[in-house]
Amino acid sequence: MLGRIRAGTASWTDPGFVAEWYPRDLPATYRLRWYAEHFNLVEVNSTFYRVPDRDMVRKWCEQTPDGFIFDVKLHRLLSRHSTRSELLPAELRPKAVLKGGKVELTEALERAVAKSFLKGVSPLEQAGKLGAFLLQLSPAFSPRHNALQELDTLIECFAGYTLAIELRNRGWVEDTRLAQTRKFFVDRKLVFVMVDAPEGAHFTILPNIDLVTHRRLAYLRAHGRNAEGYIRQRTVAGRFDHDYSRPELQEIAERAVKAAGSANEVHVIYNTNKADYAPRAATNFQNILRKSFPDTLPAETKRLQPSRSVYAR
């Protein structure tokens, strides 16, 4: 029996979405409600920059229907990205040790940030709307300089929750290391984040590996196929500037269905942040599932407003 497939976008507040996807007269406070009429899954991006505020998260719950799911990106410090102290919760800033103007990650600070993070998202858990936590690691976290076991403290902090990890350095999955990486994920009951990414040998581009490591969830993030932009551009819109065609989305759908044979649920997140590319891709993807793989749709998707397919212009 196939697992259920959900689709959504990485954030619901991107400037391109506001300019080209949402109705022009729609107030900002109604965007999440409108988004939830079209998708039943979203990946929260703002939490990468700020530990979430509990009152704000409670409003997200109120603005979305039952069955809506939030996957939540973990704070950049936990993801091994360089972090300024002002991006930490105010009560934790005095505890931070700075090195070169950036916060040094210590075990004590990691535990404190994780605890603060879990407190902030607790309304999602209470409402039954918490999906997975996403750890999007820095490309600098590499097998040449690091070991996956360095993540064990963080993994312990999120024990009992679904933790999905996106590796951003291809060294973790090349040659014989792929088997070691798979074992690490399976042994610790972690979700390996699969990608749809450009073709290329650059160390930041992971190959499109189909790997399900957790029975509960498979996770696929679609970054587009613009290799030049992905490697050389510095803005989010520039890096993920790709308008998915129908054949490309069909390929992703087939990968998602394959993953659904091994996991109870599959989350497919479109991270093509230029203009309205992501919500259009997610819409077209859902329509492909409706037509070709209807048995993979959860009840929440079947109740969504059907949207007209609009492919790459």
- Residue 278 has what pLDDT? 96
- Check whether 190 has a pLDDT greater than 80: yes
**Any idea what the Cα angle at residue 147 is, between residues 152 and 191, rounded to 5°?**
55
DSSP letter string over 134-161?
Answer: EEE--TT--TTT--GGGGHHHHHHTTTS
- Check whether 58 has a pLDDT greater than 60: yes
- Residue 247 has what pLDDT? 96
- Residue 262 has what pLDDT? 97
What tokens does 187 get? 């042994």
Are 85 and 103 contacting, i.e. CB atoms less than 8 angstroms apart?
yes
- Residue 228 has what pLDDT? 86
- Residue 64 has what pLDDT? 97
What tokens does 65 get? 């229907």
Are 270 and 7 contacting, i.e. CB atoms less than 8 angstroms apart?
yes
Mean pLDDT for 44-54 is 95
User: DSSP E strands: which ranges in 45-183?
Assistant: 69-73, 98-99, 102-103, 130-136, 163-166
- Residue 213 has what pLDDT? 98
Are 285 and 255 contacting, i.e. CB atoms less than 8 angstroms apart?
no
- Residue 240 has what pLDDT? 85
Over the stretch 192-235, which tens digit does the pLDDT of each residue have? 999 999 998 899 999 999 999 999 999 999 999 998 888 888 78
Amino acid letter for position 310: V
Burial class (CB in 10 A: 0-12, 13-18, 19+), 8: buried
Size of the chain in residues: 313
Closest CA to 133 of 78, 54, 212: 78
Over the stretch 228-272, which tens digit does the pLDDT of each residue have? 888 888 788 788 889 999 999 999 999 999 999 999 999 999 999
- Residue 238 has what pLDDT? 81
- N- to C-terminal Cα distance for the chain? 37
Mean pLDDT for 183-192 is 98
Residues 6+ apart with CB under 8 A from 89: 51, 113, 116
What tokens does 126 get? 């209470």
State the pTM of this model. 0.95
- Sign, Cα dihedral of 97, 49, 203, 207: positive
Residues 6+ apart with CB under 8 A from 9: 17, 39, 42, 43, 269, 270, 271, 278, 279, 282
- Check whether 290 has a pLDDT greater than 90: yes
CA 10 → CA 31, 70, 150, 175, distances in Å? 14, 10, 27, 30
Higher pLDDT, 272 or 313: 272
Give the Cα separation of 129 and 223 in Å (integer): 25
Closest CA to 47 of 136, 159, 158, 160: 136
Task: Please identify, in words, the CATH class of the domain defined by 4-302.
Answer: alpha beta
The rounded mean pLDDT for the chain is 93
Query: In this structure, what DSSP letter does residue 1 have?
Result: -
- Residue 300 has what pLDDT? 78
- Check whether 301 has a pLDDT greater than 80: no
Closest CA to 39 of 295, 287, 228: 287
- Residue 207 has what pLDDT? 94
What tokens does 250 get? 């069909």
Closest CA to 226 of 269, 191, 273, 173: 273
Burial class (CB in 10 A: 0-12, 13-18, 19+), 34: middle
The residue ranges of every structural domain in the chain are 4-302
Stretch among 1-10, 14-23, 161-170, 294-303 having the lowest mean pLDDT: 294-303
